[in-house]
Structure 1
Amino acid sequence: MKNILKITYLFTIAFILGSCSDDDQKFSLSENSASVINTPTNGQEFILNPLEDQNNTAITFSWDHSNYGTPTSIDYSIEIANSGSDFNEATTLATVNETHFTMNIADFNNVVSSLGLPPFTEGSVDIRIKSTVGNPSQLPQYSNIVTILVTPFTTDLPKIAVPGNHQGWDPPSAPLLASSAFGETDYEGYVWLDGEFKFIAPNQTGIFEWGNTDWGDDGTFTGALLVDDETNCNASTAGYYFVVADTDALTYETTPVSWAIIGDATPSGWDNDTDLIYNSQNKTLELDLDLVPGPFKFRGNNEWGQFDLGTVDSDGFLQSGGDLTFDGEAGNYHIILDLSNPRKYTYSLTLN
């Protein structure tokens, strides 16, 4: 009986101590026990390089442990937001149990670009660490805020849109021209035109809409542009055009182009072109044609000159010069020449 009483007494004491421990844990949070960020440091600059190995480390986040008054598992979320936004639309980079986290160049560039930082331009972002305990997460604490300067990049070619009568004057859905590289203003591309049109730049977030910078004809219709001009450019004859525009030199040119396929792989050999037909729905040039193994290429306006696509670069895009080779089985093929993506032209041959 004595032993039973002793055991009962010990369980009672253990229960009381456990209850006290739980109560102590509930009230152990200190308002000054949040993490402190060690890296990066306030004002640190990060210039992201598109030519560097994108798996290389771009940034390392490290911080001190938060203090919840008793040893416990803590989740740390790294939050990033546009500077001055008070983290109203923060992005969580990761949630970890450790007090450090690294990001490679590609991932970090994608994140800061998604925040709206323009490429090749220094912008600032705020970083903080949010700590929580339990499941579901409870008792959030926030670290100090660190502001860093970041210069992101883009591998996309800069573009301008060509809204006009040919597509209902709707900038978001307008065909695009692309420049040769970032910082260049030599835009070009292929567009079906039918009457008046303008050129329009994207806004800082890449959206094409009225109110952005636009260019119209200077009124002489001699290929000169004016910024934010009310006079539209004009293609008097509906058709497929090669369009170039230099928004620095303020010039533009439209050249009608009729594309065709030619070569030993085609029924007419190298003597005659077989014209492709523009598909307005797909914005591609198409044709069904009997092909046999042999060389061929695409050319414009039935002549050797400016419009000639005969080789494919390492990225799979058509380039001028040389010959393409058809080495499939002889038969009737659906041919598609896609020039709708400026400076990134492709083709396909599909057996019918």
Structure 2
Amino acid sequence: MKYIHKLTYLFVIAIVLCSCSDDDEKLTLTTQGGSVINTPNNGQTFVLNPLEEQTNIAITISWDHSDYGTPTGINYTIEMATSGTNFSDAVTLATISDTYFTMSIADFNSTLGSLGLIPFTESSVDIRIMSSVGDPSQLPQYSETVTILVTPFTTDLPKIAVPGNHQGWDPPTAPLLASSAFGETDYEGYVWLDGDYKFLAPNQSGMFEWGSTDWGDDGSFSGVLVEEDEVNCTAVSNYYFVKANTEELTYSAEAHSWGVIGNATPTGWDSDTDMVYDPDTKTLRVTLDLVAQQAPDNGLKFRVNDDWTINLGDTDADGTMEYSGDNIGVPESGNYTIVLDLSNPREYTYSLILN
């Protein structure tokens, strides 16, 4: 009986040792070859369209499995970088176990923006796949790099800053003017001015700092801008509609006094009630008793200098303003704080706050 027990014991030990031997063999991994990218193709061109449905797929990245000598779970990290940087500025798109990855137009465009690519300009970016087992630092393997040509877009309007006495000559906090579209140089916006000021372009990173291109008056104070030998533009303290064209090298600053008018206001359509500029919020405000009126036939509007030449309404009743837009309705009678916000150039808003 003891002899049988000993045989059984030795048999069990042999099985355990064999199992350990098999496990050791399975865990022996070596780098045998990185992935091969199948799509996109080297040199493929991608032009992103801001008018297309932004959830549509813009790019599919696919690749073959990496080889570690034996079957095992593999993690794949997709990296994208500006060409020529050797992935020093790489953006990680995802770390996954699949061998394909898709990006929508919106996500792809956002990624390209994070790399600092210039909108509406063709640039070159590199893509590679890093594979790893467990800890990303263990047995990493890289695919060959694929280079593609991309043209991103932006829906943001280009802007220039207006630093000056009115805000302590501090470019990062200066009010902004916006152009009508990307590539256009017809900047405009509303600014409280108080003495000297200049116009300043952003740097390559989109930041406003001294050292970037700036413009001032040519010394004649006749609305002519120059980049060199300029003097500061100047204005007496007031709220201005400011324009600057950095290609035609012209500028203007017209004082605008805003008021609210309409049959929802105490004076009806006969006269304005002037609004007051609040420097803390950079908005125009007035508190009034309003009567309930239904737009678009009735209500109120905002206009400049007691005249209808420049007026703002709300055609879609969405809180954003359009020049010569529809009347703004008042939902119920009561005392309101009326706020007109012109601080975001070309994207003007208002609010009616029931007190």
TM-score (norm 1): 0.94
Cα deviation, 1:46-95, whole Å, max 9, x if unaligned, reads 11111111111111111110111111111111111222222233221111
Contact 2:290 2:330 in 1 (8 A): no
In the aligned structure 1, how far is the partner of 2:13 from the partner of 2:318? 75
Question: Which amino acid letter does the alignment assign opposite residue 304 of structure 1?
Answer: W
Distance 2:318 2:186 in 1: 21
**Residue in structure 2 matched with residue 293 of structure 1 by the alignment:** 292
Structure 1 residue aligned with 2:161: 161
Q: For residues 19-168 of structure 1, what are the structure 2 equivalents within 5 Å?
A: 19-30=20-31, 32-134=32-134, 138-168=138-168
Aligned to 1:281: 280
Aligned twin of 2:262: 263
The one-letter amino acid of 1:246's match is N
Query: Are 1:345 and 2:344 an aligned pair?
Result: no
Q: 1:211 to 1:248 in 2, by over 3 A?
A: same
* Change in CA separation of 1:315 and 1:24 when aligned onto 2, cut-off 3 Å: farther
Corresponding residue number in structure 1 for 2:331: 328
What residue identity is the alignment partner of 2:311?
A: D
Verify the 8 A CA contact 2:217 2:225 in the aligned structure 1. Answer: yes
Answer with 314-323 or 67-76: which moved more. 314-323
Identify if the C-alpha distance between structure 1 residues 68 and 18 changes in structure 2 by more than 3 Å, giving closer, same or farther: farther
Q: Structure 1 residues 36 and 300, CA, compared in 2 at 3 Å: closer, same or farther?
A: same
Query: Which deviates more from structure 2 when the two are superposed, residues 341-350 or residues 204-213?
Result: 204-213
Displacement of 1:132 in angstroms is: 1.4
Structure 1 residues 87 and 45: CA distance shift in structure 2, 3 A: same
* CA 1:85–1:164: 2 relative to 1, 3 Å: same
Inter-partner Cα distance in structure 1 for 2:102 and 2:77: 13
CA distance in 1, matches of 2:184, 2:318: 21
* Residue pairs, 1:233-244, within 5 angstroms: 233-235=233-235, 237-244=236-243
Residues 292, 326 of structure 1: 8 Å contact kept? no
Relative distance call for 1:36 and 1:308 in structure 2 (3 A) is same
| CA distance in 1: counterparts of 2:9 and 2:140, whole angstroms | 39
2:166 partner amino acid: H
Q: Secondary structure at the match of 2:80?
A: strand
User: CA, structure 1 residues 337+70, in 2 after alignment: closer, same or farther (shift >3 Å)?
Assistant: same
In 2, distance between residues paired with 1:229 and 1:210? 16
Contact between 2:319 and 2:350, CA under 8 Å: does it hold in 1?
A: no
CA distance in 2 between counterparts of 1:173 and 1:229 reads 25
Alignment partner, residue 184 of structure 2: 184
Cα offsets for 1:213-262 (capped at 9, x unmatched)? 11111111100111244311111x11000001111111111100000001
3-state secondary structure, aligned to 2:12? helix
Q: How many residues align?
A: 349
- Which amino acid letter does the alignment assign opposite residue 261 of structure 1? V
Residues of 2 paired with 1:229 and 1:10: CA distance?
97
Q: 1:108-161 CA distances to partner (integer Å, 9 max, x unpaired)?
A: 000110111111111122211111112676322221122221111000111111
Change (3 A) 1:314 1:275: closer
Higher deviation after alignment, 68-77 or 105-114: 68-77
AA aligned to 1:292 is V
Q: What amino acid is aligned across from residue 39 of structure 1 in structure 2? A: T
Helix, strand or coil at the partner of 2:21: helix
Aligned residue type for 2:15? A
Shift of 1:270: 1.0
1:304 to 305, 308, 315: 308
What CA RMSD, in Å, does the superposition of the two structures yield over aligned residues?
Answer: 1.8
Secondary structure of 1:86's aligned partner = coil
* 1:200–1:212 Cα contact (<8 Å) kept: yes
Whichever residue aligns with residue 313 of structure 2, its letter is G
**Residues 188 and 343 of structure 1 are in contact (CA less than 8 Å); yes or no, is this contact kept in structure 2?**
yes
Moved more, 21-30 or 75-84: 21-30
Cα contact 1:213–1:228 (8 A) shared by 2: no
Moved over 6 A (4+): none
Q: Under a length normalisation based on structure 2, what TM-score does the superposition of the two structures give?
A: 0.93
Percent identity of paired positions between Structure 1 and Structure 2:
62
> 5+ unaligned residues in a row in structure 2: which ranges?
294-298
Aligned residues of 2:89 and 2:115 also touching (Cα < 8 A) = no
